[in-house]
Structure 1
């Protein structure tokens, strides 16, 4: 059922019913979906709508869903992926607030009540997000609130968008959010080209335009399991998920690079301090975008942005500011061994140190921090060796032409 521009659905009903719609897309999770639905139905503040999209499941998911009778609304479609399933359900829901939940996770009983209370108390906020527990298949559903909690910092509003962009993994999964419908209507539906990272894409679009509010409590639990991921036409096993996720994430950030103005990469509080300085916002913006591209594995884009920054620096002759030095350090900082960029990237930034020696100290400092972190945290020795190897590559690149 499609929504018209005036907010009405095709049958004339309006998207203005008070309360919460919980929407779940599911595919071949008959062994898990029941625990998820039970947790949603056990809320202290019940959902006004619980819509489940059976995305062409070939197991007995349909039979499991029928057991819930009229307590849930079932939409059945041909297998099209999570984005397609959610795009089908969102326009058909009527509540003012939307929670998009996964078919293998668990809601804690006070989840919806807490989120709704925060949204109602803060009309300036577009969506709320919260902490979560992490559990595996050895944990019974009634014990998930005893498992470890994934901590989240309370990021200020001017820095929130950049925090989302710089995070290697999405720090605010949609299962832990409650979103005003008006915000979803303004940013548009999910990208159907994505079979992974569709949540990352949507959260970035929301964070770009609306304020978020953190709830400092764990209100849901993320299940870690070895089952298959993705739709039937593009599925993969748990041990293949990193490669699939990385490819889709890079699609998301390539699209972002093409659509977001360079000034938007500068946090608003920093932009206020730079507005009187010629080219300062441009310089910071290109460096910040380069850092984001490097973090997400797009090393050629990162180098292009670094070159643009260096050209601008040559034009205006202003020294590298302390804030810029911090960003340059991040270009070389290793978040984790499996997120490391290829050696050719570190050699390339090493070469740039020859013509722009001012960037060498912060680049080397970034790798020094990586190595120090690995020593302090007693991480896998491979991570430390990788930091030291990259450090040597940058140093040699700064001394020798290709």
Structure 2
């Protein structure tokens, strides 16, 4: 039984997938299996995977989105921990070793999260070195709410039993489905954030799913609805932790939507989060966002 199950969903990224797999195969830690889920690709993905048939387990489905693709791999995974890697991102040789160090040092936490190095061209990753290990440990994920580091599924290792217990990813085609998963894992015992070394090269390009305006709006709307319906763990005692995390995302996304010409979606999120922002409260955002949005919208129209 492998210790790590590396889960890579992919859709029409044959060229980038080849580079992603190459970064996996250079890992210092070799106690892993690789599961690639082809989410209905129509390019040369099948040929790329055929070249690695002895090193990769391939699962296929009709195109249903990366959440459903990841869930299919979770069903078939055999490792103790699942590690997620997007098919356009890259690992450093020390990535799995770093996760393993955190797991051993902090008593097998439910969730370990690393830190990314963003890049547009691969040569931009050349200066990234293996810094000394630094990490923060928390009783659970929700306890990390006051810390403003970037959170995403492309840099997490999760105990497979915990993933299955909370039901994996939502099947909805939304952005921030990884944040929804983290909220549902919120009270699972043990969360570690690895500050250094950096463990993932996060590729930024125009086709990144995180750049979809409508899906980003839907993702934050979904989180607000889930919180309102009481679907996230921790009850009233942990509500402030959950709201701190959700509303941080709302504030980021409303500004981003406005700057990219969708103030209508930003207003919808502002309205839906109004009560929660009053509860926390966040007066600077509540009073400052409307005039900022109007000014930003005018600037966008004048371009």
TM-score w.r.t. the length of structure 1 is 0.60
Q: Give the corresponding residue for 1:146.
A: 127
3-state SS of the aligned residue for 1:83? helix
Residues 83 and 293 of structure 1: CA distance in aligned 2, closer, same or farther (over 3 Å): closer
User: 2:225 & 2:153 partners in 1: Cα distance?
Assistant: 21
Report whether the alignment pairs 1:265 with 2:248: no
RMSD: 3.6
Residues 175 and 20 of structure 1: CA distance in aligned 2, closer, same or farther (over 3 Å): same
Q: 1:171 aligns with which of 150, 174, 179?
A: 150
Residues 330 and 99 of structure 1: CA distance in aligned 2, closer, same or farther (over 3 Å): farther
User: 2:76 & 2:236 partners in 1: Cα distance?
Assistant: 36
Gaps of 5+ in 2: 255-268
Contact conserved, 2:145 with 2:244, CA < 8 A, in 1? no
User: 1:289 & 1:225 partners in 2: Cα distance?
Assistant: 26
Report whether the alignment pairs 1:102 with 2:81: no
3-state SS of the aligned residue for 2:84? strand
Contact conserved, 2:224 with 2:272, CA < 8 A, in 1? no
CA deviation digits over 1:104-151, x for unaligned, max 9? 000000100110122123225212112221111x334xx5242699xx
- Pairwise CA distance, 1:212: 1.1
Q: Give the corresponding residue for 1:128.
A: 112
Gaps of 5+ in 1: 1-16, 231-237, 268-284, 310-323, 335-339, 347-381, 387-402
Matching of residues 129-278 of structure 1 within 5 Å: 129-136=113-120, 138-140=121-123, 144-146=125-127, 157=138, 160-161=141-142, 164=145, 171-215=150-194, 216-227=196-207, 229=209, 241-259=212-230, 260=232, 261-267=235-241
CA deviation digits over 1:156-187, x for unaligned, max 9? 736952655996xx822222121111221222
CA deviation digits over 1:8-47, x for unaligned, max 9? xxxxxxxxx3511101000000120000000011100025
Residues 165 and 248 of structure 1: CA distance in aligned 2, closer, same or farther (over 3 Å): farther
User: 1:345 & 1:306 partners in 2: Cα distance?
Assistant: 17
Q: Give the corresponding residue for 1:299.
A: 270
3-state SS of the aligned residue for 2:80? strand
Residues 290 and 343 of structure 1: CA distance in aligned 2, closer, same or farther (over 3 Å): farther
Q: Give the corresponding residue for 2:283.
A: 329
Residues 154 and 147 of structure 1: CA distance in aligned 2, closer, same or farther (over 3 Å): closer
**Greater RCO (CA < 8 Å, at least 6 residues apart):** 2
Larger Rg: 1
CA deviation digits over 1:312-354, x for unaligned, max 9? xxxxxxxxxxxx7xx34354376xxxxx4x45999xxxxxxxx
CA deviation digits over 1:231-257, x for unaligned, max 9? xxxxxxx5xx23321222221222122
CA deviation digits over 1:38-69, x for unaligned, max 9? 00111000252101011100111111111112
User: 1:184 & 1:244 partners in 2: Cα distance?
Assistant: 23
